[in-house]
Structure 1
Amino acid sequence: MMERIPLALTGYLDTAAVPGDAVGTASWRLISSPADCTAEEEAVIPCTTSRPNLAHLLLTECQPSDLLRVSGSLTLPDTADGRIRLDVDTVDVMWEAPLQEQPPEDPADDHSDRDRAIQALAEALTGLAYEAAAGEQPDIRINIGPVGVHGLDVAHCHSIDVTTANTHKLADAVDAMLATLNSLPPQAGTSLDPLTIAELTDYFDELDLTELTREVLDATRPEDRVAVTRALDDLFGDIPVTGIDDSDQ
């Protein structure tokens, strides 16, 4: 059984914190430098937290070299090759390191479409997660998020727990979608085929607007003919129609 020891520790953030396996968690390393210790006596302590507010602080507001005061439970391994870990419950920023210069953002580097795609997929998978059969508990976790996650991308990371049965359904649906996509002809763009354009051009060139107008008016009630004629003139231009003089139009 692993032993847990209450511990408070002050040290410098070694590298930027990273999101944990679950939503609202984070992991980082703290360099512990007690007073009067030498460089060889410094210790690097792996830290983790499952408190969402602390994870957000570490991921979005803290940077390497910040001096932190943390407290929690130090977990000692029960085997010689195991790892120690400090499960953190509180974090206080004692000193903030000077802001590191950030590379200028590329104005063309717009991730809005990517983020909308992640959100849409997360919502769809969340709906799948709530379709668990009675008595069946989720036992598979699906993590989705941007490639190369940094602090600003944490809000676009999602973890969805689903059952084995629903995972099989999801796999079958993806296989069916890929089969459908592979059966479609290659997309050469959105432009119309030249043959189609030529056919449409020939069709409209062959239209007799005078005859077309006459057929429309013949099917129109007498009291509506003047209004319909004006509408046709607005659409096609002034088309002479036998039986209706300019005074009637």
Structure 2
Amino acid sequence: MERIPFALTGYLDTAAVPGDAVGTAFWRLISSPADCAAEEEAVIPCTTSLPDLANTLLTECQPSDLLRVTGHLALPDTADGRIRLDVDTVEVMWEAPLQEQPPEGPADDHSGRDRAIQALAEALAGLAYEPATGEQPDIRINIGPVGLHGLDVAHCHSIDVTTASTHKLADAVDAMLATLNSLPPQVGIGLDPLTIAELTDYFDELDLTELTRDVLDAARPEDRLAVTRALDDLFGDIPVTGIDDNDQ
């Protein structure tokens, strides 16, 4: 079986499990290169026979951690065999937040959050190269949802950007924050001053006596006492010609 030196960066798919022999471990990495579509992602089986490395994978790493592994890719010698990566070194590039227990009941709708992550990833992908200078990426930005679960791995992104692009991004963020800080605080929805003036004039022009008379004229005789008392509670005692509060 041919063994090919190989290095791979990917997210830990599920928690590592002990191998058949003592001091070994088995796990799977999701390879998701920058700018690749979801259907282009690959899941690579990994193993190690180094006890210290196996212990690290079994006790310190959790699903969705971003790992950089090196070793030898073992190609199958039969058509139905399995490819695997025999790992010699593991570097944790990014530790995923501690996983939370899934809430009971209906699942939360994170479609808005996922669309925001995707939009940010696509925007940052444009910073990967500097065509004018030929500068290559040397900074890695990792983004993903908080409180990762197994299904959230698909919404994690790793984008490599250049130093020059990173400076531009930092300047753009500073400018955006300065603009937001210069705006008046948003304390809620307010009315336009002209609207407030118009409403004030409208209510000042109301004739409460005439309004009360119109309401009483529209009320049925048996309901006039209750309506009169309700109007008194609302506007105060408003005398109306021809109406006595004690009338039945």
TM-score by length of 2: 0.47
TM-score by length of 1: 0.47
